[in-house]
Amino acid sequence: MNDMTSIQVKKSLVKELKKVKADSQTYDDLLREMCKIFKKVKGKDSFLMRIQQEKMREIWDNKYDEVWDHVQVR
């Protein structure tokens, strides 16, 4: 039994994949490598986002900034 399949992607994506893959590298190898990288980065992104959210809350959620919510512009 063949464990390979075909997927449909836009031709523009195929052009991009050709630009990043090594000459001897198969698309299967390239996509596996991309998946590994994505998995590593995905966890870090959410970690960094949590840190950023806390810092933004610290910066923006303070009594001095609340004063600006009630300023009337003439």
- The C-alpha angle with vertex 11 and arms to 31 and 32, in degrees rounded to 5, equals 0
Q: How far apart are CA 30 and CA 51, in angstroms?
A: 32
* Closest C-alpha among 34, 27, 33 to residue 5: 27
Task: Tell me the whole-structure pTM to 2 decimals.
Answer: 0.54
pLDDT of 41 reads 76
* Burial group, residue 33, by CB count within 10 angstroms (0-12, 13-18, 19+): middle
* Closest C-alpha among 1, 45, 9 to residue 30: 9
Per-residue pLDDT of the chain (74 residues; tens, 9 = 90+): 688 899 999 999 999 999 999 999 999 999 999 999 888 777 666 777 777 777 777 777 766 666 666 667 66
Q: Show me where the domains of the chain are located.
A: 41-74
